[in-house]
Structure 1
Amino acid sequence: MCVAPVWAQGLVLNDESLRTDLNWLNQQGVIQISTSTWPLSGDEVQRALASAKVSTVAQQKVIQSIQSQLTANNKLLKAEVFAESDRKNIPQNFADHQKAQFQAAVELNAGSQNWDARLRVNAETNHQIDNDQTVNVEGSYLAGKLWNQWLIAGQIPTYWGPGHDGSLIRGDASRPVYGFTAQRATQSAFDSKWLSWVGPWQYQAFAGQLDDYKAVPDAKIIGLRLTAQPLPNLEFGASRIIQWGGEGRSQSASSLWDAWIGNDNVYGNTENPSNQIAGFDGRLNLHSLMHVPISLYGQYVGEDEAGLLPSKKMYLAGADYSSSMKDMPYQLYVEWADTRTNGDARGISYNHSIYKSGYYQHGFPLGHAMGGDGQMVSAGGSVTINSANRVNGRVLFAKLTGSERGAKNNLAFPEKDEVNALDLTWTHQLRTDIPVKLNGWLSDSDRRGTDAGVSLGIEFPLN
């Protein structure tokens, strides 16, 4: 079966349904694309779809779902409204961009082959993540393409890693950080025979400034992620983030260089230390090895370093499975994450002696959604019933903020707690460009007792 081309914007922002569909095709052996670094490049999504090897009705349905989502995202002018009955006190899932109980947004999209722009104006009330603003432009950006590089300025969510429910180093549970991003447009391999073995590769470099960071106002975060696929079924990733600079801290080029090469990471040095987090991740697709649509993935990151490798480590591991039943594509996954320090709740993870507000913005983690000193096991999945209906959900069991020091900066989960939750979403397409999302959750917390709620969101074009 052939795949008709569809134009995608220069950037494809975090989207749970789109990630599920792309991973489903990866595990079926239909395409090869990395989905561990968000935002994605629209050029890379186009390249993957153009080379898709479609052989079943279910595979064709997933291709069509992706095309419909990309087409809807490209509408020149659209709006979104969202409301929920109560605050949702469970770790946020990937691509949940709703940070208030009630929200309305208007979005203007424009672009061509070499530039892309989005202006999104959000009006919010009853904040879940309080930024002292009733109107903001989160999700807005301006991007230009130069020699296969997208250069981006704006306030957009970022996500680094293979996990379904969280990234240990760069998640999207907090509000997006203002800053500049650079990444490749297409992930082609090197032409050089000496480097071609690296396979398709990608980088994403980011530099931004934290908003309302009380411990060190105007603190910066600077990061770099590299991924490579030396084999079609194997991907490796390496990521590094530093918190640096800010009011009262050195912001010279030499101090930045010392931070980047780790020269300021010396015990007892309070003159110019940065907060550093780094780690590795990987994903192994078993389709080409064992002809089963299963992937295994893992991630570990560490605060500080020892022997040139991350130390004081946190861990994440999981597996997912993509198949179909009666031509209905579905995906299942199970995942475990531990943000304690080498298995102990010591108040070290996502905290720092100088950057005392921790690896958080507005009190919500820039890493995994549960914050530091937590443990979580989750299982979930998604099923596409037909072109108009999709159901996805998860169950999770979490032990949160296992130390007092680990909880002091974490406004998402400020107390030691155990939470069990069921989280379900039904997406119905009134039209291909009018999705309606009905979400419901039920949770049981040692601190808050039993809680339940629903939310409703709808997007629609205005032109």
Structure 2
Amino acid sequence: MLFKKILLLSILGLTGTCASAQALLLNDNNLRSDLNWLNQQGVIALSTSTWPISADAVSDALSHAVIKNSAQKKVLDAISQKLQPQAFATAQINVATAQNRLPASFSETASNAAQYNAGLTLQQSRSNWDIHLQTNVEAEQRISTNNKLNLNGSYAAGKLWNQWLIVGDIPVWWGPGHDGSLIRGDATRPVAGFSAQRAQQQAFETKWLSWLGPWQYQLFAGQLQHYTAVPNAKLLGMRVTIQPFSFLELGASRTIQIGGKGQPSDSSAYWNALIGNDNDCNSEGCVNNQNASNQLAGFDTRVNLQPLLGLPVGMYGQIIGEDESGKLPSRNLYLAGLDFSSSYQGLPYQIYAEWADTRTDGKVWGYTYNHHQYTDGYYQYGYPLGHAMGGDGQMYSIGGNIQLDATNRVNTRLSYAKVDQSNTVNQGVHINKAFPVEDTIKALQLGWVNTFKPGYEVQLNGWVGHSESRHFDNGVSLGVKLPLVF
């Protein structure tokens, strides 16, 4: 892969052991929770629904923060620590007593892709570029590959004006959900490719567009791995968010599976897919360059009640269509949630409740995340590119976290899911390897994170689950991260 060669050559050219700050902040549940907490307290105004997020955008938001109490300062200090320059070399290790087979939440897959994982990260950056090489060695893989060594989490980025241009193997998340995104989540390994996004989220200066408020976009183009139905299939994506009012964020997202062996892949095919002129395809094939792309698109929103009612409450929702009717999404999937950010005796905490439905308009049709040409579905390595439970599922969850002090945080999640209700198969093989058969899962997860020193982190997680097919899914995992000083 070209991006792997670029990363390796770039790292070989780096010298010194000085620390540097990352340009991109990769999926991190504690960081996102803290940013949302400050948003709901009215301390900052920052979109947190598109990941990875630019460190420039976070720094700019913190520079305009209005702190009113000690709890708010505690959360702001925790974020500031994440922005501190990182060591040139960092080691990570994660071991577990069993594979965690529960539906993954935001940022969980990186540590749960294998039962045993050891990694080394080399990172160096300046104001206009960033090189982040992450090597991982795995054993007892849950998301199976043909290699125990991978570069998941690696990237090289350069800033041109206010745009970060990125080549890498990094996770993506599009939407306001805590436990899932219907269109681009991180339940599978990252899709390697190219992406672009704004470094900062300021509004347009021209009066004709300034009413849109702070805005962000993300463009993506990559190639799916281990996609046997259509080898070398590509994945394209585009997302934009706007904040026309201090209390309102609106987002629009679209993804396209296209090209690959046996599929039209010239410029006309891509153009037809982009303009939606690809409906002349059926199970027997396509007419000329009317490409049989598999597309999902839809909208999401978040409303923060702090500016309206003075309440630290957020409401959010997402609707994604598997098809199109009248230029709008149809055959829809749904997600909705509510979260609350406050403090108890100076201890910041956040709680949330979320519901997701990946059936087709509430019906089990075997249609969601499936396609008549791309018959491995909307999956990579057999794990969903969208919501972690895959197609034709329902999930209810409640969770939250509390900061006990400057270095300790406890988080928890209680979930109930009915997965793979259609038992979707491709040539006799279940396409959803995360949940290959219809099942009902009940689970409780509990975690503790300690950052006893900048750059040092210890995570201890435990889970107790019950499913009708596997009976019990229980385990404990330990993760350690520490800088290496030469």
1:119-158 equivalence runs, <5 A: 119-158=133-172
User: For residue 179 of structure 1, what is the aligned residue in structure 2?
Assistant: 193
From 382, 387, 391, the counterpart of 1:363: 382
Q: Deviations over 1:284-341 (max 9, x none)?
A: 0000111010000000001120100111100000000000011100000000000000
Identity %: 53
Distance in 2 (CA, whole Å) between partners of 1:88 and 1:127 is: 11
Amino acid at match of 2:430: K
Q: Are 1:275 and 1:355, in contact at CA under 8 Å, matched by a contact in 2?
A: yes
Amino acid at match of 1:88: N
Aligned-pair distance for 1:345? 1.1
User: For residue 87 of structure 1, what is the aligned residue in structure 2?
Assistant: 99
Distance in 1 (CA, whole Å) between partners of 2:274 and 2:473 is: 44
Aligned-pair distance for 1:404? 2.0
User: For residue 259 of structure 1, what is the aligned residue in structure 2?
Assistant: 273
Cα RMSD of the aligned pairs, angstroms, is 1.3
Q: Are 1:14 and 1:157, in contact at CA under 8 Å, matched by a contact in 2?
A: yes
From 52, 58, 61, the counterpart of 2:74: 61
From 433, 451, 460, the counterpart of 1:411: 433
Runs of 4+ in 1 over 4 A off after TM superposition: none
Q: Are 1:265 and 1:304, in contact at CA under 8 Å, matched by a contact in 2?
A: no
Q: SS where residue 404 of structure 2 aligns?
A: strand
Distance in 1 (CA, whole Å) between partners of 2:74 and 2:279 is: 51
Q: SS where residue 84 of structure 2 aligns?
A: helix
Matched, 1:308 2:349: no
Q: SS where residue 71 of structure 1 aligns?
A: coil
Distance in 2 (CA, whole Å) between partners of 1:107 and 1:236 is: 35
Q: Are 1:340 and 1:346, in contact at CA under 8 Å, matched by a contact in 2?
A: yes
1:50-449 equivalence runs, <5 A: 50-71=63-84, 74-96=86-108, 97-98=110-111, 99-266=113-280, 268=282, 270-271=285-286, 272-405=291-424, 408-449=430-471
Q: Are 1:8 and 1:70, in contact at CA under 8 Å, matched by a contact in 2?
A: yes
Q: SS where residue 366 of structure 2 aligns?
A: coil
Amino acid at match of 1:29: G
Task: Name the count of aligned residue pairs.
Answer: 457
User: For residue 452 of structure 1, what is the aligned residue in structure 2?
Assistant: 474
Q: Are 2:424 and 2:432, in contact at CA under 8 Å, matched by a contact in 1?
A: no
Distance in 1 (CA, whole Å) between partners of 2:456 and 2:20 is: 19
Q: Deviations over 1:238-257 (max 9, x none)?
A: 00000000111111111100
Q: Deviations over 1:356-384 (max 9, x none)?
A: 00000000000000000000000000100
* Long gaps (5+) in structure 2: 1-18
Amino acid at match of 2:320: V
Aligned-pair distance for 1:131? 1.1
Q: Deviations over 1:265-287 (max 9, x none)?
A: 24638212100000100000000
Q: SS where residue 282 of structure 1 aligns?
A: strand
Distance in 2 (CA, whole Å) between partners of 1:333 and 1:8 is: 31
Q: SS where residue 460 of structure 2 aligns?
A: strand
Instruction: Call closer, same or farther: CA 1:338–1:367 in 2, change over 3 Å.
Output: same
Amino acid at match of 2:440: E
Distance in 2 (CA, whole Å) between partners of 1:409 and 1:87 is: 20
User: For residue 3 of structure 1, what is the aligned residue in structure 2?
Assistant: none
Amino acid at match of 1:352: H
Q: SS where residue 422 of structure 1 aligns?
A: strand
Aligned-pair distance for 1:132? 1.1
Amino acid at match of 1:247: K
Amino acid at match of 2:99: R
Aligned-pair distance for 1:432? 2.6
Distance in 2 (CA, whole Å) between partners of 1:150 and 1:61 is: 30
User: For residue 43 of structure 2, what is the aligned residue in structure 1?
Assistant: 30
Distance in 2 (CA, whole Å) between partners of 1:324 and 1:63 is: 14
Amino acid at match of 2:54: S
Aligned-pair distance for 1:89? 1.6
Provide TM-score, normalisation by structure 2.
0.93
* Long gaps (5+) in structure 1: 1-5
Q: SS where residue 165 of structure 2 aligns?
A: strand
User: For residue 7 of structure 2, what is the aligned residue in structure 1?
Assistant: none
Q: Are 2:20 and 2:124, in contact at CA under 8 Å, matched by a contact in 1?
A: no
Q: Are 1:8 and 1:43, in contact at CA under 8 Å, matched by a contact in 2?
A: no
Q: SS where residue 247 of structure 1 aligns?
A: coil
Q: SS where residue 404 of structure 1 aligns?
A: coil
Aligned-pair distance for 1:8? 4.3
Distance in 1 (CA, whole Å) between partners of 2:423 and 2:435 is: 11
Q: SS where residue 442 of structure 2 aligns?
A: strand
